Chain A
Amino acid sequence: MKKSIAGLIGALALLTLVGCAGNTADTSGKIAGKITVITQRTDIVDTVFKQYAADFKKVYPDVDVTFEAIADYESQIKIRMSTKDYGDVLLLPTSVPIADLPSFFEPLGDLGDLSKQYVGLEERSVGGKVYGLPLAVNYSGVVYNKKVFADAGVKTIPKTPDEFIAALKAVKAKTKAIPLYTNYAAGWTLTQWEAPLTTVAGSVDYVNVKQVASDDNFVPGQPHYELYKVLYDVAKEGLIEKDPTTTDWEQSKADLAHGKIATMVLGCWAINQIKALTTTPDDIGFLPFPTKAEKVIVPLADDYLQGINVNSKNKAAARAWLDWFTNKSDYANVQSGGMSAVVGAELPAILKDYKALGVEFALQTPAIAGQEGWVDLIDKEAQIGLWQPDFKKRIVEAAIGNKKESYDDIMKDLNKAWVAARAKITAKK
């Protein structure tokens, strides 16, 4: 209530973002020297990553790897990237516009060549060059507690939104568990809802190809409308936590593990974290997001991409680490709970059962040449925030009666913003 400190902070933040540096010469030859690897995994940087460094050293004895873990990766790295000092190996921040990647990251090779070795490179390549390799390939949907479902008498796996909501109602009626925990307060957790869009659309083309060609992104019957209708209906029916505004993310993981929460919409990376909190890890399962589509497709999407600082003084060693990490470490399977980006990698065990049920796991089609990054550009221009919590929070608020607007009002609003921004972006190109 005092002093306009915020204004000063804002001004400072803007100042620190001033321009960035050019290239420095590469030193080639023997692979040796020191490199700094920046990671977002504060939880395992002193344990698992230490082990990785030791294993790496066996192959490259002359390279010393040090780690730096950043908790709030996206916003911290953004500020550091205005200098030259942002480590040797780091993750490509998703907030950096794709077209700007070449000014910060070293090209790793041609897309055509590298695609033979790795999957998931298309989305963030610029001009046929690759700037990062995925840490892992992940899938998203609903993480649930099997025991709670069994106690509630839910025997078949819910496939459609109606079946899903019926299952949640059974959970509410027959158990003490919270049917679906939104994790509203943490915010970023709500962005996880955007990931299964492909499942709702029932087509791998929707996200990057059809969506940018459509002016009807948020109208009834379209994937976005149907996807968030589930959130709205669940909240409206009182199938969520008592007070969404005071949710606690760390606690929610333990509660799901111990059967106090039945379901949460999350990525696969959360599964191992939740399993680690219980003595009965087999109770934790994965459900594809409910969909009306004929075929259930669970999208496989890149985790963060790992790239090399264009200003790095030791690019050879950085590249050695990058290749080793992607090909040899168990990060993708064990730490991320997904699968490796190396071509031909096996599906995780938890998904194998679904393959038998006819569920398909597929990478999303990349954008048409010349339209790369359009979804992101339109989204930012429209201030919709597909990967921001804002409109998801609005939906929850409307559903629990805190706002007067209806679900359709919100969707109409979003669609209006989408249409205007799309017209602006497509006209520019």
Chain B
Amino acid sequence: MSLLTRMSYKKQKQLVIALFLFVPLTLLLTFSFLPVLTMIGYSFTSWNGYSKTVPFVGLDNYITLFTKPEYFSVFGVSLYYFVGSFVQMGLALWFAVILSQSLRFRNFFKGTLFFPYLLNGVAVGFIFLFFFKPDGTLDTVLRALGLGDAVQYWLKDPNIINVSLTGASIWRYIGFNFILFLGVISSISSDIYEAADLDGANKWQQFRYIIWPSILQVIQLNLILAVSGSISVFETPYVMTGGSNGSNTFVIQTVDVAFKYNKLGLASAMAVVLMVIVLIVTRVQQLWLKKRT
């Protein structure tokens, strides 16, 4: 203790900061950066995941990858999720604006909207499998509403399957966007609204000139997460369809190559390529947004 008090205030501050940072940084290094580095290392080998020998093959894996366009054809599926992410953000923003006002049962609705995000992804997958089954929940509801004609084979029809899966994904992740928006909107001081009211601004004008400028940054953040998220979709389609019937994504493909066909080396190379793509896309997006604002 005396050692601490003898230090200058600045030194103490630095020490405390270092101590606090130690834990998260160690976790980050051990569980993010170290695995990524090992993975990059594996991408230059043809390791099968078991052998004690790890044969070095140089750039072979990358050559295989880039000479076979079918590895990249699955990115088409990402477009569904990309479009879906705008629907998701729109809905989330809509609910956030409504529920930021004083409304009856508003905490209940907030909870309902956020709840799916807390659920385990595997559980969500199973819920939606049941939901989309022929004569399952969705069909029953549609028939009860007199919309029996709209009933489809939600997962069997290859033209609809990705829309259905995107829907499930929206339901699952909307709570996350919602809570981000709500947080920012709630932090806007009520004085501003009052002043706007006095000046005769209607709800739309309040949204356009008070809320919108304040949430712009969060929208940008959500946009970046949405794009990188739709490039690397995994959980929902993996649990629900295993990537079959035209719902395959790049990450599912990578997992298959690694664990079904024991090509850890090639799979690592695919993961590296995905990482690079996400980094580039995010960077481009940042630059573009910076120019705009």
The verdict on A75 contacting chain B, using a C-beta distance below 8 Å, is yes
Q: Tell me the chain A residues, 105-126 only, with Cβ under 8 Å from chain B.
A: none
The answer to whether B242 touches A10, judged by C-beta atoms less than 8 angstroms apart, is no
Residue in A7, A14, A397 whose beta carbon sits within 8 Å of that of B275 in the complex: A7
Nearest A residue to B232 via CB reads: A4
Question: Does the CB pair A7–B251 fall under 8 Å?
Answer: yes
A58-85 vs B, CB cutoff 8 Å, 1 = contact: the mask equals 0000000000000000010010010000
Q: Is B102 an interface residue (CB 8 A)?
A: no
Contacts of A416 in B (CB 8 A): none
**Given that A1-B170, A3-B229 are known contacts, is A242 also in contact with B39, CB under 8 Å in the complex?**
no
- Among the stretches B3-11, B28-36, B208-216, B283-291, the one at the interface with A is B28-36
Q: Which residues of B contact A17 (CB under 8 A)?
A: 49, 264
Give the contacts of A170-194 with B (CB-CB under 8 A). Answer: 184-185, 187
Docked pose: A323 CA to B123 CA in angstroms: 41
Docked-complex contact A1 and B88, CB < 8 angstroms: yes
Given A12-B31, A97-B262, A242-B134, does the pair A1, B230 have CB atoms closer than 8 Å? Answer: yes
Given contacts A4-B232, A10-B251, A97-B51, contact A245 B225 (CB under 8 A): no
Interface digits, A117-153 against B, CB 8 Å rule (1 contact, 0 not)?
0000000000000000000000000000000000000
A95 touches B85 (CB 8 A): no
Q: Are A243 and B230 in touch, CB under 8 angstroms?
A: no
Q: Is the CB of B259 within 8 A of A75?
A: yes
- A383–B257 contact, CB under 8 A? yes
Which B1-58 residues have a C-beta within 8 angstroms of A? 31-32, 34-36, 38-39, 42, 48-52
- Cα A397 to Cα B158 in complex, Å, equals 9
Per-residue contact bits, chain B 260-292, to A (CB 8 Å; 1 contact, 0 not): 111110011001001100100000000000000
Indicate which residue in A14, A95, A380, A403 contacts B39 across the interface (CB closer than 8 Å): A14
State the CA gap A87–B84 with chains docked (Å): 46
Cβ contact within 8 Å between A95 and B234: no
Contact A380 B49 (CB under 8 A): no
Q: How large is the interface on A (under 10, 10 to 19, 20 to 34, 35 or more residues)?
A: 35 or more
Determine which of B51, B229, B267 lies in contact with A1 in the assembled complex, contact meaning CB atoms within 8 Å: B229
Closest to A10 in B: B271
Query: A357-406: which have CB < 8 Å to B?
Result: 380, 383, 385, 388-390, 393, 397, 400, 402-403
CB of B99 within 8 Å of the partner chain: no
Do B278 and A402 have beta carbons less than 8 Å apart? no
The distance in angstroms between the C-alpha atoms of A13 and B39, with both chains bound, is 10
A14 and B264 within 8 A (CB): yes
Contact pattern, B 209-228, Cβ under 8 Å of A = 1, otherwise 0: 00000000000000001101
A-B contact count (CB 8 A): 157
* Interchain CA distance A402-B157 in the complex, whole Å: 7
Interface string of A198-222 (1 = CB under 8 A from B): 0000000000000000000000000
Question: Could you say which residues of chain B place their CB within 8 Å of the CB of A246?
Answer: 129, 132-134, 136, 155-156
**Complex alpha-carbon distance, A266 and B19, angstroms:** 59
B162 within 8 A of A: no
Complex CA distance for A242 and B158, rounded to whole angstroms: 15
B221-258 interface code vs A (CB 8 A; 1 in, 0 out): 00001101111111100000110111000010011111
Distance in angstroms between the alpha carbons of A6 and B258 in the assembled complex: 13
CB closest residue in chain A, given B247:
A245
Using Cβ atoms and an 8 Å threshold, which residues of chain A touch B264?
14, 17
Chain B CB count within 10 A is highest, among A1, A5, A184, A402, for: A1
Q: Is A426 an interface residue (CB 8 A)?
A: no
Contact of A18 among B31, B38, B263, B271 (CB under 8 A): B38
- Tell me if B31 and A1 are in contact (CB < 8 A): no
Supposing A14-B258, A389-B242 touch, asked if A7 and B38 sit within 8 A by C-beta, the answer is no
Contacts of B34 in A (CB 8 A): 15
Q: Which of B36, B88, B245, B254 contacts A402 (CB 8 A)?
A: B245
Contact of B246 with A402 in the complex, beta carbons under 8 Å: yes
B173 CB within 8 Å of chain A:
yes
A1–B226 CB distance below 8 A: yes
**With the chains together, A19 CA to B264 CA distance in Å?**
13
B243 to chain A, nearest CB (A): 9
Q: Is B81 an interface residue (CB 8 A)?
A: yes
Q: Is the CB of A393 within 8 A of B244?
A: yes
Knowing A2-B225, A97-B51, A243-B155, say if A385 contacts B35 (CB, 8 Å).
no
Across the interface, do A11 and B271 meet the contact criterion of CB distance under 8 Å? yes
From residue A413, how far is it (CB to closest CB) to chain B in Å?
A: 10
Answer whether A243 and B153 are a contact pair too, CB < 8 Å, given A388-B260, A393-B244, A403-B158. yes
- Interface presence of A20 (CB below 8 A): yes
- Whether A96 sits at the interface, judged by CB under 8 Å, is yes
Residues of B contacting A389 in the complex (Cβ-Cβ under 8 angstroms): 242, 244
CB of A294 closer than 8 Å to a CB of B: no
Q: Kindly state whether residue A23 has any CB partner on chain B within 8 Å.
A: no
* In the complex, A281 has a CB within 8 A of chain B: no
Known A-B contacts: A185-B129, A243-B134. Give 6 more (CB < 8 A).
Answer: A6-B232, A12-B35, A14-B258, A383-B261, A388-B260, A393-B245
Could you give 17 example pairs across A and B, Cβ below 8 Å?
A1-B81, A1-B170, A1-B172, A1-B230, A4-B228, A5-B234, A6-B255, A7-B271, A15-B39, A18-B38, A100-B48, A104-B50, A185-B129, A380-B48, A390-B244, A397-B245, A403-B246
B: which residues have CB within 8 A of A?
A: 31-32, 34-36, 38-39, 42, 48-52, 81, 84-85, 88, 129, 132-134, 136, 153, 155-158, 161, 166, 169-170, 172-173, 176, 225-226, 228-235, 241-242, 244-246, 251, 254-264, 267-268, 271, 274-275, 278
A-B CB proximity, top 6 nearest? A6-B234, A11-B35, A245-B155, A15-B35, A4-B232, A246-B133
